[in-house]
Structure 1
């Protein structure tokens, strides 16, 4: 599986985004980081339905710069790239981009303790990024607030 990660307007590549691939049981298969051109390439078993998480890592200097994104139930094909555009933390965009970011945080919350061991500081960066995310409906604001409380309890 391969692709590019770019800014929400699609113009600038984003480097050092962690691209993690998970099985249906949420066990991580593998992860890689995007290069200076926002490209990534990760080998995974063919034909398997996976979830792909695009997120920052709390130990890197871009930890609070980008909102996460997740693609669920995808069967990657090496012939077709899986590209993603990320929303900059603190940037307002369309409602769909804000919902996409919430999906990334929901997935991170679902991973729970299994991932937390290797990601010290994720809760703190998630809290900071969530506080800068603008939701366009009351229902989504409530989801955002619950996620903020969840990550506050982990920090």
Structure 2
């Protein structure tokens, strides 16, 4: 599977975004990183339904710059790209982009491969704190995620 990761707005490519692929039980299948052109490539079993998470890595200079994104129930296809657009931390986004970012954090909270929760959690709290929510329901979810990641630190 391959694709490109770009910024909202502007559509410029984003370098060094971690792309993680999971089975339905959120066990890790493969991971890779985007290159200077925002392109990534990961190996997955053809035809298997997977979840793909796009996020930063706590050890990189962009660790707090972007909100994550997740796509669930994707059927692997090596012929068609899976492109994603990420929201920069501190920028206003529409309701769909806010929900996508929150789902990215939810996937991180539920995943068994989050490397040392104590290292990921502080960046998640800071990024989540800068995400503006357009509805009370999303604000409640955001507050719950912030609390979850605070407990991990």
Does TM, normalized by the shorter one, top 0.5? yes
User: What SS does structure 2 have at the residue aligned with 1:121?
Assistant: helix
Residues 29 and 77 of structure 1: CA distance in aligned 2, closer, same or farther (over 3 Å)? same
User: What SS does structure 2 have at the residue aligned with 1:3?
Assistant: strand
The match for 1:144 is: 142
Residues in 2 aligned to 1:131 and 1:15: alpha-carbon distance in whole angstroms: 23
Deviations along 1:66-100, one digit per CA (max 9) or x if unpaired, are: 00000000002111100000000111011110110
Residues 65 and 23 of structure 1: CA distance in aligned 2, closer, same or farther (over 3 Å)? same
Q: TM-score, normalised by structure 1?
A: 0.95
Residues in 1 aligned to 2:101 and 2:67: alpha-carbon distance in whole angstroms: 6
Q: Is the contact made by 1:2 and 1:39 (CA closer than 8 Å) also made in structure 2?
A: yes
Any runs of at least 4 consecutive aligned residues in structure 1 with deviations exceeding 6 A, and if so which? none
Q: Which moved more, 1:4-13 or 1:20-29?
A: 4-13
Q: Any residues of structure 2 matched to 1:1-155 within 5 Å, and which?
A: 1-9=1-9, 11-111=11-111, 114-118=112-116, 120-155=118-153
Residues 31 and 120 of structure 1: CA distance in aligned 2, closer, same or farther (over 3 Å)? farther
User: What SS does structure 2 have at the residue aligned with 1:100?
Assistant: helix
Residues in 2 aligned to 1:11 and 1:31: alpha-carbon distance in whole angstroms: 23
Q: Cα distance, 1:117 vs. partner?
A: 4.2
Where does the alignment leave 5 or more consecutive residues of structure 2 unmatched? Answer: none
Residues in 2 aligned to 1:116 and 1:12: alpha-carbon distance in whole angstroms: 27
Q: Cα distance, 1:40 vs. partner?
A: 0.4
Q: TM-score, normalised by structure 2?
A: 0.96
Residues in 2 aligned to 1:4 and 1:151: alpha-carbon distance in whole angstroms: 28
Q: Cα distance, 1:146 vs. partner?
A: 0.5
Residues in 2 aligned to 1:33 and 1:117: alpha-carbon distance in whole angstroms: 15
Where does the alignment leave 5 or more consecutive residues of structure 1 unmatched? Answer: none
Residues in 2 aligned to 1:18 and 1:64: alpha-carbon distance in whole angstroms: 13
